[in-house]
Amino acid sequence: MDTDRPNRLAGQASPYLRRHGGHPVDWYPWGDEAFELARRLDRPVFVSVGYAACHWCHVMEALCFRDAEVAALMNTAFVNVKVDREERPDVDELLMTACTLLTGSGGWPLSVVMTPDRSPFWAGTFLPKRGRSGRPGMMELVPRIAALWRDDRRRLLGAAHEITAHLAAIHTVPSPELPDPGAADAAFSRLRSSFDPDHGGFGGAPKFPALHQVLFLLGYPGGASGDEAVAMATRTLDGILDGGIHDQLGHGIHRYATDVRWLVPHWEKMLPDQAMLLLALAEAFAVVGQERYRTAALDTAGFLERCLAGPEELFRAAVDADGEGGEGRYYLWTAKEIRSALPPEEARVAFAVWGIEEDGNHGRPPAGERDGTNVLHVAGTPDSVAGELGIPRSRVIELLENARELLLEIRERRPRPPVDGSLLTDWNALAAAGLTRVGRLLGEPRLVERARAVEAAIWTRMETPSGELLHRPARDGAPVPALLDDHVFLAWAELELYAVTFDPRHIERAIGLADTIENRFSSGTDGAFFRTPGDTVGLGIRTVPLADTDLPSPNAVMVLVLVRLARLTGEDRYERRAEALLRAAAGAVARHPTRHLFLLHAENLARRPGTEVVVVGPRHDPATGALLLAARDAGRDAAILLVEPSVDDPIRRLAPFTAAMGMACGLPTAHVCRDRTCFPPVTDPGALHDLLGRA
């Protein structure tokens, strides 16, 4: 039996928490109130962590949290707390670590039972109402834990103390070590050993895009192995783009594939995954120049605008896995539906290109029996289909595009999956960085303008009157302080924007963010950075995130930010701080190189001799623009500064080393320095291009 009545989540800012606001479970949001009540009532605290686009979170909600029997047990035995992992990644991080320590694995929905002083002693993931196959459900588990709390509390408290001690040990600030010069080669070797040459990607099912792996491989300085690394990166991108994990009609990628072929996805679409795809596609296009990466990048940007655009220029967090008709049904097609929707010639091409089968190619869990529906994926190229059907290649492309437009139009009339409307600083900043890099490397200024709008909206909506950055908009409920990720990803976006707009405000903002990070998140002058500005979880533990997750580690991105600031401003303090951070991370990188690929990617940038190009000239002078274009073209990794001839230009203050650099003979002039050695200034774009090629 289901019962709906308002609880304390009904008025929360998080859409995910509000979704649970009508449950019979007497939910509390994470905070002191819940744990103080647990102390007064002498009860454990049941914490459920999930997010709005998570399919199995919705399943557990339907089976357990909307069920009156389960709710009655929970309300009697526990104080119950619901957490949105997008809103409180700091809570999620520590509780997920506890789950991994207790069970050996983790995932969402995450279920943790804690003492009133916030020490976890039991953890698991998805739980049904009743147990099966030897695994307990909520109806068995809740009374069992309640009995242990009543009759064997000493053992539970001992377990809680032990887990908390392990958490503290895991998250101890690392001691500095000398970086291992062979760590990048070791990471490449391990990636090569797990690489899937048939489909791309690494390891078996489930298979995640892990696009920071692609970025590492595209920038791997491995000599002869560099070509192999690029081939692994592009094969992975091709597998993703060809698979069902990539929405062949509406674009964007789903969360992960449940199989090794990238065919059947886990259906939610998350904003940060799209941002990372943009970054990877832009780099791949710059490295190998394949047109499909340009097209895919533009299509992904189009998906963001069409499906995730939110209020005031920001992007919303995700498209849900579930919709009317069940998980993924919005994206699936039967052969009959395709034939009914398309003219015969277009249907023939669609069947051949997208691998449509009469009995379907999609199976329902848990057994995976085919259900008659198809996941669209690239099963045939225009060349192969042209040969198979006996029609020109150009005609195949034309018919396929017509089919895509018709099917998308029909799909748009289906009930759409819900969209998670959360507006998050870190994810929006990462999207701004991705859009900017695509705009710069692909020559698409409209994407840069879109990124500038996102960046401006972050400062408008995510900043308090006192100037503190927030994780989510200031006007949406109780403020959630910004984490390291928010500051670092926004600094990254600012530097990407400066590289294409040459607006000094972006450097000023990046410097301000770097200073805030140093002041509020530093674990010491020779250490890495904490994720939180204080003990925001209440366990007496602050985490130091070094390893990549589905996103790059914020400490790794901070290395990139510091190195770029050092080269743009000429300030040695940034370079020294980047070196200290790399030393702090060195032990973890040496032990687990493939878990720290973005740190290795950033370290590679830090170890390369830096190239600075200072173009002095009026901003709107075509000759100035020609020099900037030559510098971008020939020096993709160079730090490029635009200095107006006026002595009042802010860049003169932000980058004091430019003070003596001026125009030669009254003409816009480029000054090139490499590895602390400067070359004679040049005024000709061709000469600048040649100089950068030699430098």
Classify residue 107 by its DSSP letter: -
221 and 141 in a common domain: no
pLDDT, average across residues 503-531? 93
Q: State yes or no: pLDDT of 694 exceeds 60.
A: yes
364 and 225 in a common domain: yes
C-alpha distances in Å from residue 295, one per residue of 228, 376, 459, 540? 24, 18, 31, 48
Q: What was the pLDDT predicted at 61?
A: 95
- Could you identify the residue written with the tokens 């147990």? 131
Supply the DSSP string of 551-601, one letter for each residue: S--HHHHHHHHHHHHHHHH--HHHHHHHHHHHHHHHHHHHH-GGG-HHHHH
**Mean pLDDT of the residues in the chain:** 92
Is 54 contained in some domain?
Answer: yes
Determine the length of the chain.
695
Q: Provide the domain count of the chain.
A: 3
pLDDT, average across residues 355-376? 80
Please indicate whether residue 317 or residue 53 has the higher confidence score (pLDDT).
317
Q: Which tokens in the block code for residue 224?
A: 């002869």
Is 5 contained in some domain?
Answer: no
Please give the residue range of the domain that contains residue 394.
206-420
Is 111 contained in some domain?
Answer: yes
Is 617 contained in some domain?
Answer: yes
Q: State yes or no: pLDDT of 313 exceeds 50.
A: yes
Is 679 contained in some domain?
Answer: yes
Q: State yes or no: pLDDT of 478 exceeds 80.
A: no
pLDDT confidence tier of residue 491, bands split at 50, 70 and 90:
very high
Q: Indicate the residue among 122, 148, 170 that finishes a domain.
A: 170
374 and 298 in a common domain: yes
Q: Indicate the residue among 387, 420, 453 that finishes a domain.
A: 420
In whole angstroms, give the CA distance from residue 324 to residue 56: 15
pLDDT confidence tier of residue 3, bands split at 50, 70 and 90:
very low
pLDDT confidence tier of residue 369, bands split at 50, 70 and 90:
low
**Amino acid letter, residue 246:** H
Q: What was the pLDDT predicted at 247?
A: 98
**Burial zone of 222 (CB within 10 Å; 0-12 exposed, 13-18 middle, 19+ buried):** middle
pLDDT, average across residues 287-313? 96
Q: State yes or no: pLDDT of 334 exceeds 70.
A: yes
148 and 36 in a common domain: yes
CATH of the domain at 660: 3.40.30.10
Classify residue 263 by its DSSP letter: -
Q: State yes or no: pLDDT of 444 exceeds 90.
A: yes
Q: What was the pLDDT predicted at 2?
A: 41
Q: What was the pLDDT predicted at 477?
A: 62
pLDDT confidence tier of residue 173, bands split at 50, 70 and 90:
confident
pLDDT confidence tier of residue 368, bands split at 50, 70 and 90:
low
253 and 384 in a common domain: yes
164 and 217 in a common domain: no
Q: What was the pLDDT predicted at 474?
A: 66
Q: State yes or no: pLDDT of 304 exceeds 60.
A: yes
**Amino acid letter, residue 497:** L
Q: State yes or no: pLDDT of 5 exceeds 60.
A: no
Q: Indicate the residue among 399, 420, 441 that finishes a domain.
A: 420
Of 640, 598, 599, 393, the C-alpha closest to 504 is 640
pLDDT, average across residues 369-375? 85
140 and 272 in a common domain: no
Please report, rounded to a whole number, the percentage of residues in the chain having pLDDT higher than 70: 97
Q: State yes or no: pLDDT of 12 exceeds 70.
A: yes
Is 413 contained in some domain?
Answer: yes
Is 553 contained in some domain?
Answer: no
In whole angstroms, give the CA distance from residue 243 to residue 258: 11
pLDDT confidence tier of residue 1, bands split at 50, 70 and 90:
very low
**Burial zone of 206 (CB within 10 Å; 0-12 exposed, 13-18 middle, 19+ buried):** middle
26 and 157 in a common domain: yes
355 and 255 in a common domain: yes
Range of weakest confidence among 109-123, 220-234, 487-501: 220-234
Of 617, 607, 621, the C-alpha closest to 671 is 617
162 and 41 in a common domain: yes
**Burial zone of 562 (CB within 10 Å; 0-12 exposed, 13-18 middle, 19+ buried):** buried
378 and 249 in a common domain: yes
Of 517, 524, 468, the C-alpha closest to 489 is 517
pLDDT, average across residues 27-52? 96
Q: What was the pLDDT predicted at 617?
A: 96
pLDDT, average across residues 304-308? 97
Is 31 contained in some domain?
Answer: yes
- pLDDT (tens digit per residue) in 613-645: 999 999 999 999 999 999 988 767 789 999 999
Q: What was the pLDDT predicted at 341?
A: 96
277 and 149 in a common domain: no
Q: State yes or no: pLDDT of 365 exceeds 60.
A: no
